[in-house]
């Protein structure tokens, strides 16, 4: 366990350090959860529900002995009544597979009840009488198909209808330095696309919550009693590195950055490396002949039954691609188009369901690939929508844009 912990720290311990300004600006990003004076007084005497997972480490602190304390433990130590823990996809400890049902239960470390919001008991409405305030502290990665923000917005709507206050302890967005991708068409709204935003929206969870609340995007158009505790020392130019995987298959920062481009393979017959030690950093298929790179997906924790399990896949390794190049490209559609053309399967490339369209958030992406369009032509289709969105989101931004 200690070797695994040290391995993760080596990958993720690149905390974003910013220049110390003469005016006293902090030298590192101060997370919302470590600004206790801003929110703890309002929790005294209240029953508090916490929406979080393994990422809720206060201040993203790492020491020689491991990760710092979790928010739940810190607040319990301060005498706050944590009456409920709400867990997202992958569970409170972040170990379940993508899409795997996670049961509710009792957290063995604290004895606090856990209500799973992904599979099993998926609606917190029945637990409204167990808390007065909802506290949100969870690490997002800033992509429309990442499910944590969808769960957050559902919770906000439930709290609005139940008269409960929501406090978001904001965290940096590791992909918060750019905006790219098509804006979700409402007919493709799903668990991997909950708001009409681009694939890469460039907003923190706090900013996204403010926009969803302000634009009437919550279910039924309700407005919740919302407070955001912002980070300090963060801007939308900050390259913020995470201290741990935010979910089981985003194992390092390269995967977090490539996720915007390679996640589309989830809606195809091509493997993106689930079941290997570097998911989202490769792609391939048994029938993609002519490629020297090969990998074989296996059943592993976090990917018990990966696509193309135990089959030798030929394809492309992105593990050596410079991070600066990934940052500058934004969403790279060449990967999907290359695999589509290499396989020559036509419509069958996209499998037997419409999951590719749900990930894309639009139908024209798939249609243009089938019609032979190139990456630049497809990206040009959404360019104006991205610029319009950047203007629309501006009133809700808490941090400076580059």
For residues 18 and 86, the model is more confident at 86
Helix axis angle, 334-343 to 253-262, nearest 10°: 60
Same domain, 200 and 276: no
- Provide the mean pLDDT of the chain: 90
- Choose one of 209, 241, 273: the last residue of a domain: 241
Q: Does a structural domain hold residue 266?
A: yes
Same domain, 236 and 259: no
Q: Does a structural domain hold residue 11?
A: no
Q: Does a structural domain hold residue 3?
A: no
Q: CA 52, CA 72: separation in Å to the nearest integer?
A: 9
Q: CATH number of the domain that 339 lies in?
A: 3.90.1150
Same domain, 144 and 181: yes
Position 5 confidence tier, pLDDT thresholds 50, 70, 90: very low
Q: b/e per residue, 246-273, with b = 16+ CB within 10 A? A: bbbbbbbbbbbbbbbbbbbbbbbbbbbb
Please state the domain count of the chain.
2
Asked if residue 364 has pLDDT above 90, the reply is: yes
- Choose one of 241, 262, 297: the last residue of a domain: 241
Helix axis angle, 148-162 to 205-214, nearest 10°: 50
Same domain, 111 and 185: yes
Query: Percentage of residues in the chain with pLDDT exceeding 90?
Result: 79
Same domain, 171 and 93: yes
Same domain, 172 and 257: no
What pLDDT sits at residue 218?
97
Least confident of 28-37, 102-111, 162-171, 247-256: 102-111
Query: What would the two tokens of residue 137 be?
Result: 């502290």
Same domain, 171 and 141: yes
Q: CATH number of the domain that 138 lies in?
A: 3.40.50.12170
Same domain, 23 and 109: yes
Q: Does a structural domain hold residue 176?
A: yes
Same domain, 70 and 214: yes
Q: Does a structural domain hold residue 248?
A: no
What pLDDT sits at residue 103?
58
Q: Beta strand pairing status for 198-200 and 180-183?
A: antiparallel
Least confident of 122-136, 211-225, 256-270: 122-136
Same domain, 274 and 138: no
What pLDDT sits at residue 64?
85
Least confident of 88-97, 193-202, 260-269: 88-97
Least confident of 84-88, 164-168, 344-348, 385-389: 84-88
Q: Does a structural domain hold residue 77?
A: yes
Position 102 confidence tier, pLDDT thresholds 50, 70, 90: low
Query: Percentage of residues in the chain with pLDDT exceeding 70?
Result: 88
Alpha-carbon 39 to chain mean position: 24
Q: CA 93, CA 30: separation in Å to the nearest integer?
A: 23
Q: CA 374, CA 152: separation in Å to the nearest integer?
A: 36
Q: Does a structural domain hold residue 45?
A: yes
Same domain, 134 and 23: yes
Q: CA 304, CA 375: separation in Å to the nearest integer?
A: 33
- Choose one of 204, 220, 241: the last residue of a domain: 241
Same domain, 95 and 46: yes
What pLDDT sits at residue 1?
39
Q: Does a structural domain hold residue 132?
A: yes
Supply the range of the domain harboring residue 370: 253-389
What pLDDT sits at residue 105?
78
What pLDDT sits at residue 125?
84
Position 93 confidence tier, pLDDT thresholds 50, 70, 90: low
């Amino acid at each position: 366990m200690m070797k695994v912990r040290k391995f993760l720290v080596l990958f993720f311990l690149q905390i974003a350090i910013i220049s110390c300004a003469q005016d006293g600006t902090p030298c590192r990003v101060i997370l919302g959860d470590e600004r206790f004076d801003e929110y703890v007084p309002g929790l005294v005497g209240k029953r508090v529900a916490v929406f979080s997972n393994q990422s809720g480490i206060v201040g993203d602190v790492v020491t020689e002995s491991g990760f710092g304390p979790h928010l739940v433990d810190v607040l319990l130590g301060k005498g706050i009544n944590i009456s409920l823990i709400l867990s997202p996809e992958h569970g409170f400890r972040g170990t379940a597979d993508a899409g795997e049902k996670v049961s509710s239960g009792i957290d063995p470390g604290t004895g606090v009840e856990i209500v799973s919001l992904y599979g099993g008991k998926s609606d917190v409405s029945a637990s409204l009488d167990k808390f007065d305030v909802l506290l949100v502290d969870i690490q997002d990665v800033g992509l429309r198909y990442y499910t944590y923000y969808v769960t957050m917005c559902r919770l906000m709507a439930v709290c609005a209808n139940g008269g409960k206050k929501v406090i978001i302890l904001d965290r940096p967005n590791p992909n918060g330095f750019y905006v790219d991708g098509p804006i979700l068409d409402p007919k493709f709204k799903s668990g991997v696309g909950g708001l009409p935003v681009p694939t890469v929206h460039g907003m923190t969870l706090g900013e996204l919550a403010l926009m969803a609340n302000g634009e009437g995007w919550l279910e039924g158009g309700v407005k919740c009693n919302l407070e955001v505790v912002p980070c300090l020392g963060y801007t939308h130019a900050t390259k913020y590195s995470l201290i741990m995987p935010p979910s089981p298959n985003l194992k390092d920062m390269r995967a977090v950055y490539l996720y915007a481009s390679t996640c589309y393979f989830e809606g195809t017959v091509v493997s993106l490396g689930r079941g290997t030690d570097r998911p989202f950093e490769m792609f391939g298929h048994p029938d993609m002949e002519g490629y020297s790179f090969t990998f074989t997906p296996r059943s592993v924790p976090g990917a018990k039954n990966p696509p193309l399990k135990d089959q030798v896949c030929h394809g492309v390794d992105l593990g050596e691609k410079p991070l600066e190049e990934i940052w500058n490209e934004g969403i790279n559609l060449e990967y999907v188009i290359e695999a589509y053309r290499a396989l020559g399967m036509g419509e069958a490339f996209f499998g037997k369901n419409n999951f590719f369209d749900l990930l894309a958030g639009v139908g024209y992406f798939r249609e243009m690939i089938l019609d032979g369009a190139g990456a630049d032509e497809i990206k040009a289709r959404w360019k104006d929508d991205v610029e319009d969105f950047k203007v629309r989101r501006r009133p809700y931004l808490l941090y400076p844009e580059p």
